[in-house]
């Protein structure tokens, strides 16, 4: 029997962004219906951020045994790795976080949780299983899923994606990875450190093409040193089952015929927004090639319907979805955008969001980098600092790394890229600076604890003033002032 529900807010998708909206609205006393047709917690908890970082942690621990000699400890070149136990570790991390995203928790907050797939049947109505929900406002937060490129024979070979790779209890002997973006690169290093042979295939001239090429080069140096085979300009055109039960890929590399065979294939060729089965036409919601069209307030072409996170086709990060969630809570419930939360008038500014690739060393970025600044014809001063000049990095043999920051007119911080140990944590203050239009003096005027990696940022900032501070002109001024002693 069909059940009709009227509510203040209907959230479609219980991933990071949707859960944040539902929790915030419920705690503010609004009636909320939360609809999820798959797993609570979405991609991040079940197939993305959480399991991948848990797997990377296992690989890093194995690598610590191999690298022990530089600390005066006898190394173990081939640590004993129980991949089934690694699988259990990954899923224990998911299980530890799962209660925060569970149906029980959100029902406890007062949400009505419906575990069905939703479809719009009108501009202010959706169906989900036996339910018909009408609401004052809707928020679409259905995320994204792995993009599987059209390729001859791919449908006849067993391949895995980030949605299936963490279910494996046996280590692949030779993992082939299509895609040199963050997912492909992180999984390449994790599986190599856990004992698999790994070949990474990237169709472009460089892996991680959105990052600073010089800093990507440092990551590549580490990956290749660990034994990962990286093939760029590799166009994979055909897949087939190999005679030994594995997978063979065929195509061209630098315009020449190319083939490679492995035991397993991971397709990490990007993401696609999940919006095709939502009945958006019935709701009057417009889309583009990458996802749902939204304005600066995260509203769709139907002003009663908002969309956030990956489904909008923008930057596909959990922290961006969370940021979008704050915007829609502010814009739907508080009406006056400047009333609360301090989110710059309630308008989307996700271009200021940082991103991190969690390789070892990590690669982090926020704002502009050199290639983008040159493309946009933005003038800047480049400041740099090497990890090797940091005492804590020396103490931990973590000297392979570098910070590069772009400083604009009047010392305004335009962007920063960091490669090295804990780069994902070090980028935080730079993200704060970019978001708030701070000047480089914000760093030079701060005191960083010694000895920490955070001093790299302080020293890089100081380097901005070095040419002026120690110039001939400054020396003459100091000399003149000293005459008054």
Domain harbouring 376, CATH code: 3.30.390.30
Q: Are residues 14 and 139 in the same domain?
A: yes
Q: Are residues 246 and 308 in the same domain?
A: no
In a domain, residue 91? The reply is: yes
Q: Are residues 140 and 63 in the same domain?
A: yes
Q: Are residues 226 and 261 in the same domain?
A: yes
202 is in an annotated binding site: yes
458 is in an annotated binding site: no
429 is in an annotated binding site: no
In a domain, residue 288? The reply is: yes
**Domain span including residue 165:** 154-269
Q: What is the pLDDT of residue 1?
A: 78
Please tell me the pTM assigned to this model: 0.93
Q: Are residues 221 and 304 in the same domain?
A: no
Q: What is the CATH number of the domain that holds 80?
A: 3.50.50.60
- Report phi then psi at 395, rounded to 5: -65, -30
143 is in an annotated binding site: yes
C-alpha to C-alpha distance for 310 and 364, rounded to whole angstroms: 20
What length is written for the chain?
Answer: 485
In a domain, residue 14? The reply is: yes
Q: Are residues 165 and 281 in the same domain?
A: no
In a domain, residue 476? The reply is: no
In a domain, residue 24? The reply is: yes
Q: Are residues 295 and 432 in the same domain?
A: no
Strand, helix or coil at 377? Answer: coil
For residue 35, the surrounding DSSP H or E stretch is: strand 32-35
Q: What is the pLDDT of residue 174?
A: 98
421 is in an annotated binding site: no
C-alpha to C-alpha distance for 467 and 472, rounded to whole angstroms: 10
C-alpha to C-alpha distance for 399 and 387, rounded to whole angstroms: 5
142 is in an annotated binding site: yes
350, 371, 405 - which closes a domain: 350
270 is in an annotated binding site: yes
**Is residue 12 within 8 Å of residue 135, measured between CB atoms?**
no
Q: Are residues 278 and 233 in the same domain?
A: no
In a domain, residue 240? The reply is: yes
53 is in an annotated binding site: yes
Q: Are residues 264 and 276 in the same domain?
A: no
Q: What is the pLDDT of residue 416?
A: 98
254, 269, 284 - which closes a domain: 269
**Is residue 420 within 8 Å of residue 362, measured between CB atoms?**
yes
**Is residue 240 within 8 Å of residue 251, measured between CB atoms?**
no
In a domain, residue 355? The reply is: no
- Residue 472 CA from chain centroid, whole number: 46
- Using the 8-state DSSP alphabet, how is residue 178 labeled? E
- Residue 92 CA from chain centroid, whole number: 22
**Is residue 348 within 8 Å of residue 339, measured between CB atoms?**
no
Side-chain half-sphere exposure of 419, counting CA atoms within 13 A: 20
Residue 427, both tokens: 């980028």
In a domain, residue 195? The reply is: yes
C-alpha to C-alpha distance for 422 and 453, rounded to whole angstroms: 8
C-alpha to C-alpha distance for 439 and 448, rounded to whole angstroms: 17
Of 421, 369, 414, residue with least CA distance to 390: 421
Q: Are residues 253 and 284 in the same domain?
A: no
181 is in an annotated binding site: yes
C-alpha to C-alpha distance for 407 and 211, rounded to whole angstroms: 18
Per-residue pLDDT for the chain (485 aa), expressed as one digit of tens each?
799 999 999 999 999 999 999 999 999 999 999 999 999 999 999 999 999 999 999 999 999 999 999 999 998 888 999 999 999 999 999 999 999 999 999 999 999 999 999 999 999 999 999 999 999 999 999 999 999 999 999 999 999 999 999 999 999 999 999 999 999 999 999 999 999 999 999 999 999 999 999 999 999 999 999 999 999 999 999 999 999 999 999 999 998 999 999 999 999 999 999 999 999 999 999 999 999 999 999 999 999 999 999 999 999 999 999 999 999 999 999 876 555 555 666 899 999 999 999 999 999 999 999 999 999 999 999 999 999 999 999 999 999 999 999 999 999 999 999 999 999 999 999 999 999 999 999 999 999 999 999 999 999 999 999 876 566 676 666 566 677 76
Residue 190, both tokens: 């994790």
183 is in an annotated binding site: yes
182 is in an annotated binding site: yes
269, 287, 303 - which closes a domain: 269
C-alpha to C-alpha distance for 273 and 314, rounded to whole angstroms: 9
257 is in an annotated binding site: no
C-alpha to C-alpha distance for 430 and 245, rounded to whole angstroms: 49
**Is residue 307 within 8 Å of residue 297, measured between CB atoms?**
no
Q: Are residues 64 and 35 in the same domain?
A: yes
Domain total of the chain? 3
Non-local (6+) Cβ contacts of 483 within 8 A are none
Non-local (6+) Cβ contacts of 470 within 8 A are none
185 is in an annotated binding site: yes
Q: Are residues 17 and 134 in the same domain?
A: yes
C-alpha to C-alpha distance for 244 and 76, rounded to whole angstroms: 31
């Amino acid at each position: 029997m069909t059940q009709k529900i009227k509510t203040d807010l209907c959230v479609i998708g219980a991933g990071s962004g949707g859960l944040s909206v539902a929790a915030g609205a419920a705690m503010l006393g609004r009636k909320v219906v939360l609809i999820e047709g798959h797993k609570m917690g979405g991609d991040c908890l079940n197939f993305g951020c959480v399991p991948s970082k848990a797997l990377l942690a296992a690989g890093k621990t194995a690598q610590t045994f191999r690298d022990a000699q530089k600390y005066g400890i006898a190394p173990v070149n081939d640590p004993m790795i129980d991949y089934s136990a690694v699988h259990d570790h990954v899923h224990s991390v998911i299980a530890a976080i799962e209660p925060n995203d569970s149906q029980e928790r959100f029902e406890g907050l007062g949400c009505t949780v419906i575990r069905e797939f939703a479809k719009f049947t009108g501009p202010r109505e959706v169906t989900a299983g036996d339910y018909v929900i009408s609401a004052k406002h809707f928020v679409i937060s259905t995320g994204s899923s792995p993009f599987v490129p059209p390729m001859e024979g791919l449908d006849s070979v067993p391949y895995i994606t980030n949605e299936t790779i963490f279910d494996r209890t046996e280590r692949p002997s030779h993992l082939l990875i299509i895609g040199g973006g963050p997912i492909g690169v992180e999984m390449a290093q994790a599986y190599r450190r856990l004992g698999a042979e790994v070949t990474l295939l990237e169709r472009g001239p460089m892996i991680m093409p959105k990052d600073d090429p010089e800093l990507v080069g440092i990551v590549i140096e580490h990956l290749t040193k660990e034994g990962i085979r990286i093939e760029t300009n590799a166009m994979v055109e055909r897949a087939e089952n190999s005679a030994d039960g594995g997978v063979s890929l065929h195509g061209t590399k630098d315009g020449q015929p190319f083939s490679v065979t492995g035991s397993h294939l991971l397709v990490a060729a990007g993401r696609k927004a999940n919006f095709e089965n939502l009945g958006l036409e019935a709701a009057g919601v417009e889309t583009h090639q990458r996802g749902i069209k939204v304005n600066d307030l995260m509203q769709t072409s139907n002003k009663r319907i908002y969309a956030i996170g990956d489904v909008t086709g923008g930057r596909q990060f959990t922290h961006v979805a969370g940021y979008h969630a704050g915007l829609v809570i502010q814009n739907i419930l508080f009406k006056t955008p400047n009333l609360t939360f301090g989110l710059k008038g309630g308008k989307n500014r996700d271009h200021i969001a940082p991103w991190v690739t969690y390789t070892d060393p990590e690669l982090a970025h926020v704002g502009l980098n050199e290639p983008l600044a040159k493309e946009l014809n933005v003038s800047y001063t480049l400041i740099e600092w090497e990890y090797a000049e940091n005492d804590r990095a020396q103490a931990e043999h973590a000297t392979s790394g570098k910070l590069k920051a772009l400083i604009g007119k009047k010392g305004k911080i335009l962007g920063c890229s960091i490669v090295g140990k804990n780069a994902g944590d070090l980028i935080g203050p730079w993200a704060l600076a970019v978001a708030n239009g701070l000047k480089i003096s914000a760093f030079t005027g701060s005191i960083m604890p010694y000895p920490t990696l955070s001093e790299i940022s302080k020293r890089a900032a100081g380097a901005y003033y070095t040419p002026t501070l120690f110039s001939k002109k400054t020396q003459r001024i100091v000399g003149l002032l000293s005459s008054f002693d």
